[in-house]
Structure 1
Amino acid sequence: MDQKDIDRIIEMAWEDRTPFEAIKIQLGISEAEVVSVMRRELKKSSFIL
Structure 2
Amino acid sequence: MTARELDRIVEMAWEDKTPFEAIKNQFGVSESEVIKLMRLELKESSFKRWRKRVNSGISQKHLRKRNAAISRFKSSRQKSISNNKIS
Do Structure 1 and Structure 2 share a fold, with TM-score over 0.5? yes
Aligned to 1:33: 33
Corresponding residue of 1:9: 9
Instruction: Name the count of aligned residue pairs.
Output: 49
Secondary structure, in 3 states, of the residue corresponding to 1:48?
helix
Return 5+ residue gaps in structure 2 as ranges.
50-87
Task: Please provide the CA RMSD for this pair.
Answer: 0.6
Runs of 4 or more, structure 1, over 2 Å off, are none
Q: Report the identity percentage.
A: 63
What 5-or-longer segments of structure 1 have no aligned partner? none
Give the TM-score taking structure 2 as reference length.
Answer: 0.54
